[in-house]
């Protein structure tokens, strides 16, 4: 798979990469643009910066959907510019203590409203879920939302074991997807994989809700690991990761 831009709506693009099937985004306004995620290192970030320049000459702002390396470690290729992220994203990146990592300098707690060349773009944190610093990027004029890893497409199912980390709050994730749907966007761009519709997000929410219920039962001692795996809607390795069964 060679990376290319897909224009999903007027001036709104997604670009998928073979590495981790990462999907990044671009919103182009009148004289400004917004780059959503930066790939995994300085060289990959530089490739993305060049790719943005194939679409638009406008100065860019960057937003990070969360701190995980595949999304956030390419920032330096875009500097100097404003880099938006959740405040916990800054904390996590700073904690890595890597002097080559560029840190976000525009931090949000719950939400921020950007003006990207006359286009309104909302950055929204929906509470701890996939990580504690997920930010979704809503472009209301075209009904598109970039969901970061709150939504992941990992064929053949909706999740992989890598979807769940030690920084995941499983119980918060279904509600975050409800809140994401409440933004009203029709097109949802995941952090990995191809764009999806609202129905996909609802189905993913149901799976997460089921996993969260199983997790509660295991934590309460009402169910053992084998029973939870048997009752799970997803594969054993994914269930083990989601419920931290080891």
**Site residues for Zn ion per CB under 5 A:** 68, 70, 149, 191
Q: How far is CA 235 from the centre of its chain?
A: 22
Answer whether 3's CB lies under 8 Å from 91's CB: no
Residues 92-98: contacts with CB under 8 Å, at least 24 apart: 92/67, 92/133, 92/167, 93/67
The distance of closest approach from Cβ of residue 59 to Zn ion in the complex, given in angstroms and rounded to an integer, is 26
Residue 160 vs 239, nearer CB to Zn ion: 160
Which residues contact residue 121 at a Cβ distance below 8 angstroms, ignoring those fewer than 6 apart?
27, 34, 113, 114, 115, 137, 138, 139
Residue 13 vs 164, nearer CB to Zn ion: 164
Which residues contact residue 201 at a Cβ distance below 8 angstroms, ignoring those fewer than 6 apart?
147, 151, 177, 180, 181, 188
- The count of other CB atoms within 10 Å of the CB of residue 113 is 11
The distance of closest approach from Cβ of residue 88 to Zn ion in the complex, given in angstroms and rounded to an integer, is 16
Between the CA of residue 176 and those of 25, 132, 154, 173, 209, what are the distances in Å?
Answer: 21, 11, 19, 5, 11
The answer to whether the Cα torsion of 197, 203, 206, 210 is positive or negative is: negative
Residue 119 vs 125, nearer CB to Zn ion: 125
The distance of closest approach from Cβ of residue 118 to Zn ion in the complex, given in angstroms and rounded to an integer, is 30
The distance of closest approach from Cβ of residue 159 to Zn ion in the complex, given in angstroms and rounded to an integer, is 12
The distance of closest approach from Cβ of residue 70 to Zn ion in the complex, given in angstroms and rounded to an integer, is 5
Residue 32 vs 153, nearer CB to Zn ion: 153
Residue 59 vs 165, nearer CB to Zn ion: 165
Residue 222 vs 237, nearer CB to Zn ion: 237
The distance of closest approach from Cβ of residue 104 to Zn ion in the complex, given in angstroms and rounded to an integer, is 17
The distance of closest approach from Cβ of residue 191 to Zn ion in the complex, given in angstroms and rounded to an integer, is 5
- The continuous run of DSSP H or E covering 7 comes out as strand 5-9
Residue 28 vs 238, nearer CB to Zn ion: 238
Closest C-alpha among 178, 177, 183 to residue 113: 183
Query: By beta-carbon distance, which residue lies closest to Zn ion?
Result: 149
């Amino acid at each position: 798979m060679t990376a290319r831009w897909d224009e999903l709506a007027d001036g709104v693009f997604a670009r998928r990469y073979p590495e981790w099937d990462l999907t990044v985004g671009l919103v182009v306004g009148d004289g400004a643009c917004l780059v959503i995620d930066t790939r995994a290192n300085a060289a990959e970030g530089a490739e993305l910066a060049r790719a943005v320049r194939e679409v638009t000459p406008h100065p860019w702002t960057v937003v990070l959907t969360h701190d995980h390396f595949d999304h956030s470690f390419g920032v330096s290729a875009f500097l100097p510019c404003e880099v938006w992220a959740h405040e916990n994203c800054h904390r996590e990146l700073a904690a890595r203590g890597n002097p080559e990592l560029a840190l976000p300098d525009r931090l949000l707690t719950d939400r921020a409203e950007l003006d990207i060349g006359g286009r309104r773009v909302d950055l929204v944190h929906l509470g701890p879920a996939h990580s504690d610093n997920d930010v979704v990027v809503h472009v209301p004029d075209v009904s598109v939302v970039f969901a970061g890893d709150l939504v992941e497409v990992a064929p053949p199912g909706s999740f992989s074991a890598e979807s769940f980390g030690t920084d995941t709050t499983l119980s918060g994730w279904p509600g975050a997807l409800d809140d994401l749907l409440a933004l009203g966007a029709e097109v949802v761009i995941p952090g990995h994989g191809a764009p999806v519709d609202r129905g996909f997000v609802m189905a993913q929410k149901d799976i997460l809700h089921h996993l969260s219920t199983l997790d509660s039962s295991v934590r309460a001692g009402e169910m053992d690991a084998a029973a939870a795996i048997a009752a799970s809607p997803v594969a054993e390795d994914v269930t083990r990761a989601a419920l931290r069964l080891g």
